[in-house]
Every structure is written in structure tokens, then in C-alpha cells.
Structure 1
Amino acid sequence: MTDKKNQVSRRQFLNYTLTGVGGFMGAALVAPMVGFAVDPLLKGEKDTDFVYVMDENEITNEPQRKTFKVDQVDGWYESQVDRTAWVFRDENGEILALSPVCTHLGCTVDWNSREEFSNEFFCPCHDGRYDKNGVNIADTPPTEPLHAYEYKVEDGKLYLGKAKSRKEA
């Protein structure tokens, strides 16, 4: 004789089976979407790559505009983009590589572009001004100095990394 308390009815069996199969199929559909969305967060940021810009003996006391290419990862899209730096030696002979992006609203600054502002970086968008070392001049729109690129010199060649804020300058 069989005990009816421990038996599963046909209806319960089908209910359990369909719920299990449906849950498995739902998980199979959702898992790739979650993985696709979370993958860029798990990759993290690459270490700073330094890019060759110029030979060290070409660096002068006058800022020179140098353009170079860097690899950029935007989510899943990898590309090469142009970056620009104003490269020169300061009064102490130290190399300084400044970003041309104005810290006010992101316009592009130019060196010695206005006669009335000689030996200064000038932003034409809102008359932002910086001295030769990229420090913002008082009573002009920029709120902080131009960002400076990390750099290293190896075998007489200048390599630039990422531009960093110099708020304390």
C-alpha cells in the first residue's frame, strides 16, 4: 500500500517542472545582459601609458605645441585620439608639459596669440589668461592652473602620460 501524503500529484509535478525550466530559461536570457553591462566596470582602468612626443634636445624655453596620439577605451570601443601639449623648459630648466584645455570651460588656450598679452597663454572664449608656467592670472575667469602632463625622459626622448590638476601651483 502506498502513502498518499508523500506522493506528488500530476499537477504539482508539472507545476514544479515548468517553474524550474522557466527559471532556467530566464536566467539564461538575463545572465549575458548582466555580464555585458558589468564587464567594463570589472576591467578597471589601465595604468598610465606614456607616449613618445619628442626628443629631449628639441625642448626649448619657448612653449611648443606638440600633438601626439593616445589609445582610448570608451566602454567597449577602442580608438586612438589626438592629444596636445605645450612643452618647454621653465626658468629652472625643468620640463613642463601643459594641457591646452582651459580650466574655466574647456576651450583651447594658445601661447602668445595676443599682442597685449605677450608671454601668456590666452583663452579666446572668455578672455582667460595664464602666465608662462600655466598659472591662472588673478581676476580672469580660470579658477585653477592649466593641468600638467606626467612625463618621463628615457634615452633622450620625452614621453607624456596623463594630464593632472595642479591646484596647489
Structure 2
Amino acid sequence: MAAGMLMPMARFALDPALRAGAESEFLYVCDVDQLTEDPQVFPFNFDQVDAWYESEVSRDVYVYIRDNEVTALSAICTHLGCTVAYDGNDDYPEQFFCPCHFGRFDKDGHNIPGTPPRRPLDAYEVKVEDGKVYLGSIYQRT
């Protein structure tokens, strides 16, 4: 009897976690002809379901072409979540710089030794179709 009473409550509590593994959809972010070899920031929006609430979230992503492949990096520092800027500090040209704790990443988003971040910038799955760039799930790089 106890299991019969607890199962609905457990399912209710775990439902958001069980849905979290669902496949993500790809979102349009820019056209390929807008891209260069230098990272450029592009804003995008998506709907986020957090527990039982849905909201629209705005994010920035750095997108560029590297070795004829489109790369998309998160603009969120992996140290404490501040926003990084590419080529945003005169002392560190062609690097991502985090003004919160002076974290730095090279052009490919790898953390610079001796700075606070302990891992590279996160990256997005990228799909290119008909000259348009779409972003999928974000993932951690090591």
C-alpha cells in the first residue's frame, strides 16, 4: 500500500528530470555568409522548461569558421558564469576575456593556463543547411 501511495508522488517529483534527456531541436542563429575566421557574437532565444515553468531565454553564442567547419562556442565563462568577450581586452588580443575574474581563453575557446577557468568554453552542436547555421545542444569540452 505504501508503494502505491508513493509512486504517484515520486513520478510527480521526477517528471522534469525524466524529460531532460529529450532530444533538442536545432535553432537558427545566422547565415553562413555572415561568418568569418574570427569569432562573432550572435544572440538567439529559446524556450526553456525548468521544472514546471516555461520561459524564453536569451543567450549569446560566438560563431566562426575554422578549417572549413562552423564552430559555435558559448559566451559563458566556465569559471563562474560571467559573459566573455572576444578581442575585448587590448592586453589580450584575439582571445576571449572574462572581466569578472580575468579568465582567458584562446581563439578556439581553450582555457589559458594560469587563469581561473579550469576547462574550455562549452560548445554547441552545429548543423548547416541551405546556407543557414543552426544550433543544437550545448556540451562541455575537456
Same fold (TM over 0.5): yes
Looking at secondary structure, tell me which structure has more strand per residue: 2
Is the Cα contact below 8 Å between 2:104 and 2:112 reproduced in 1? Answer: yes
Structure 2 vs 1, CA of residues 148 and 38 (structure 1 numbering), >3 Å: closer, same or farther? Answer: closer
Q: Aligned pair 1:71/2:44, yes or no?
A: no
Between the aligned partners of 2:89 and 2:7, the Cα distance in structure 1 is: 58
How far did 1:42 drift? 4.5
Partner of 1:156: 131
SS at match of 1:115: coil
- What fraction of aligned residue pairs are identical, expressed as a percent? 49
Q: Deviations over 1:58-77 (max 9, x none)?
A: 11112111011112111111
Is the Cα contact below 8 Å between 2:30 and 2:133 reproduced in 1? Answer: yes
The 5-angstrom pairing of residues 16-165 of structure 1 reads 36-90=12-66, 92-165=67-140
Structure 2 vs 1, CA of residues 44 and 99 (structure 1 numbering), >3 Å: closer, same or farther? Answer: closer
- Rg larger in 1 or in 2? 1
Looking at secondary structure, tell me which structure has more helix per residue: 1
Between the aligned partners of 2:112 and 2:14, the Cα distance in structure 1 is: 44
Q: Deviations over 1:21-40 (max 9, x none)?
A: xx9xxx99x88756543443
Q: What root-mean-square deviation, in Å, do the aligned CA atoms of Structure 1 and Structure 2 show?
A: 2.1
**Alignment: residue pair count:** 140
Structure 1 residue runs without a partner (length 5+): 1-22
Partner of 1:19: none
How far did 1:139 drift? 1.1
TM (normalized to structure 1)? Answer: 0.74
Structure 2 residue runs without a partner (length 5+): none
Q: Which has the higher relative contact order, 1 or 2, with Cα contacts under 8 A spaced 6 or more apart?
A: 2
Is the Cα contact below 8 Å between 2:16 and 2:50 reproduced in 1? Answer: no
Match for 1:122: what amino acid? F
Structure 2 vs 1, CA of residues 51 and 126 (structure 1 numbering), >3 Å: closer, same or farther? Answer: same
Q: Deviations over 1:130-151 (max 9, x none)?
A: 1111111111111111111111
- Over 2 Å off, 4+ runs: 30-46
SS at match of 1:57: helix
Structure 2 vs 1, CA of residues 69 and 38 (structure 1 numbering), >3 Å: closer, same or farther? Answer: same
